[in-house]
Amino acid sequence: MSALPRLPLDRECPMHPPKTYARLQANEPVARAEVYNGDKVWLITKYEYVKALLGDERFSAVPSMPGYPQLSAGVGAAALEERTFLRMDNPDHDHYRKMLTREFTVKAVQRLSPRVQQMIDGLIDDMLTKGPPLDLVPALGLALPSMVITLLLGAPEEDHAFVQDRASARINFNATPEQTRAATRDLLGYLEKLVTEKENEPGDDILSRLIVTYGRTGALSHEEIVHMGRLLISAGHETTSSMISLGTLALLENPGQQAALVGDPSLADRAVEELLRYLTIIPFSTRRVATAEVEIGGHTIRPGEGVFMLTPAANRDPEHFPEPDRLDITRDARHHLAFGYGVHQCLGQQLARMELQAVFATLFTRIPTLRLAVPMAEVSFRDDSVTYGVRALPVTW
Ligand code: HEM
């Protein structure tokens, strides 16, 4: 039997990464491991090395490259169908990403901020009207990012549930390749219709602007616009949703931190960076395959070898975050790697930050007595998905 660690490793505590990461970081920051089918991969756990390799364009993000590392057959099949810049290298990556950057600048996000605040206020009004106990995941965690992404794409709000269900199915480790392919097909079919509608009658939304600026000049095909819409749904939905629910739980589990935020809601921006660091909810997306020989930490990574740049480990590196296992919303955690690093660093990070800051500043101010409605041991965690999170979060006040 092989003695190599096999990804994904189990967590001993749901709020912390597997303990093996810290052990590797201290003793073997560039280590070997294996994945579901026995393929060998490299695990990088030290902050410096993770950052260096993510910024190194000798590594490819293209899943069809031989040796590209995968976590499960199903998620691998979904990645192979990816036709967007998330899974492209330069120069193609930059060519396509540039078409979306102006939609996610600080300025563009600031313009959206009053609408997002209204949405949050409305959702919390509904929670208060309904009364406790309730599940925070559908009430706020999932509801807000769904509303925001449908607003951005100009999609009908009533399509939330369908979009959410199909987007989740694509990234479940236990799904078969047939299941993830079917989920991708459903989402593409849905967007196909939406994009066709907007081609006939453009509105004030991202898809329409892509159609008018790039579709009509021939710079983007109909199919490419469909795939970009699919990427935005997948990337912007479950991620922010998980951060809202799991972030709330982390604060409820650390009452001193919750009290500090209630006492000073202007701490929300620091709190969000710290929660992003502490939770690092996208643990495995930063995986690549080497296209050249690369020396790191006394090891040589050879072309065609797969590498997991483990951001959850890097974000707990004591050399960069003293007492890394402590949630401290007053620390300056802005240099965390929860949004990745390098050319693929999260395009939607300013939007995610704005949504999260507004949620945490508002939620704990309006419901300062918010608490878990069940013992922590009864909270069910979603550990079978590319996005880590909770399945439900029963709260009361
Ligand atoms: C890329 C995390 C929210 C759009 C990424 C990557 C990470 C990440 C780690 C890099 C993946 C890689 O290197 O392979 C997160 C987290 C979020 C979040 C933790 C919420 C808290 C969003 C939102 C949007 C978005 C709201 C847009 C609506 C994207 C896109 C990419 C990306 C388009 C691909 C960038 C590229 O390849 O150039 N995200 N994300 N994300 N994210 Fe996010």
CB of 230 within 6 A of ligand 1: the answer is no
pLDDT of residue 172: 80
Q: Supply angle C-alpha 265, 269, 275, rounded to 5.
A: 105
CB of 42 within 6 A of ligand 1: the answer is no
Tell me the pairing of strands 40-44 and 371-372: unpaired
Are 173 and 72 spatial neighbours (Cβ–Cβ below 8 Å)?
yes
Best probe residue, ligand 1, of 239, 246, 279, 315 (max atoms within 8 Å of C-beta): 239
pLDDT of residue 163: 84
Residue pLDDT, tens place only, 361-382: 999 999 999 999 999 999 999 9
pLDDT of residue 1: 46
- Residue 153 neighbours by CB distance under 10 Å: 23
**Burial (0-12, 13-18, 19+ Cβ within 10 Å), 366:** middle
Are 280 and 311 spatial neighbours (Cβ–Cβ below 8 Å)?
yes
Nearest residue by C-alpha to atom 34 in ligand 1: 86
Q: How far is the CA of 93 from the centre of ligand 1 (A)?
A: 14
Q: How far is the CA of 368 from the centre of ligand 1 (A)?
A: 31
CB of 244 within 6 A of ligand 1: the answer is no
Give the number of the atom of ligand 1 that is nearest the alpha carbon of residue 285. Answer: 14
Nearest residue by C-alpha to atom 7 in ligand 1: 339
Q: What is the ipTM of this complex?
A: 0.99
Q: Is residue 245 part of a domain?
A: yes
Name the domain count of the chain.
Answer: 1
Q: Is residue 8 part of a domain?
A: no
Q: What is the pTM of this model?
A: 0.96
DSSP letter for 91, please. T
- Provide the Cα torsion 259, 388, 283, 375; round to 10°: 50
Q: Is residue 356 part of a domain?
A: yes
Q: Is residue 63 part of a domain?
A: yes
Q: Is residue 305 part of a domain?
A: yes
Q: How far is the CA of 348 from the centre of ligand 1 (A)?
A: 6
Nearest residue by C-alpha to atom 43 in ligand 1: 346
CB of 167 within 6 A of ligand 1: the answer is no
Q: Is residue 10 part of a domain?
A: no
Q: Is residue 144 part of a domain?
A: yes
Q: What parts of the chain have a pLDDT lower than 50?
A: 1
CB of 272 within 6 A of ligand 1: the answer is no
pLDDT of residue 2: 52
Q: Is residue 71 part of a domain?
A: yes
- Residue 3 neighbours by CB distance under 10 Å: 5
CATH number assigned to the domain comprising residue 322: 1.10.630.10
CB of 86 within 6 A of ligand 1: the answer is yes
Nearest residue by C-alpha to atom 36 in ligand 1: 344
Give the number of the atom of ligand 1 that is nearest the alpha carbon of residue 88. Answer: 37
pLDDT of residue 354: 98
pLDDT of residue 241: 94
Q: How far is the CA of 19 from the centre of ligand 1 (A)?
A: 26
Structural domain harbouring 65: 19-396
CB of 240 within 6 A of ligand 1: the answer is yes
